[in-house]
Amino acid sequence: MSELKVIRLATVPNIAGLHMRPATMIGNLTSEFNARVILRKDHRCVTATDVLQVLTLGAGPGDKLELIGEGPDAQAAVDALVALIEGGFQDGQPK
């Protein structure tokens, strides 16, 4: 039986983009699920649990990220990450 694979897009809304705090939030949230999640921007793919890799995406405001989840919790993991990202990482900054 093949594993569940989920793909969704999320737009980075916050003015500062993916800096250390949001990257850490992505890594911590992803670690809570039994799923492997890849973030893709343009042609670069990184593991969502690796904060330094997430930072290398250089995602800024308005950039679109493709989230690719595989595993038993893929749907829940990707849904939670989309909510986190599109919620502006709860920065309190204008969107």
The predicted structure's pLDDT at residue 1: 44
Domain ranges of the chain: 5-90
The predicted structure's pLDDT at residue 2: 56
Supply the residues annotated as catalytic: 19
Give the HSE-up count for residue 94: Cα atoms under 13 Å, Cβ half-sphere. 0
The predicted structure's pLDDT at residue 90: 77
Distance of CA 26 to CAs 1, 2, 3, Å?
A: 29, 26, 22
The predicted structure's pLDDT at residue 14: 86
The predicted structure's pLDDT at residue 75: 96
What is the fold of 5-90?
Histidine-containing Protein; Chain: A; (3.30.1340)
Residue spans of the chain under pLDDT 70: 1-2, 91-95
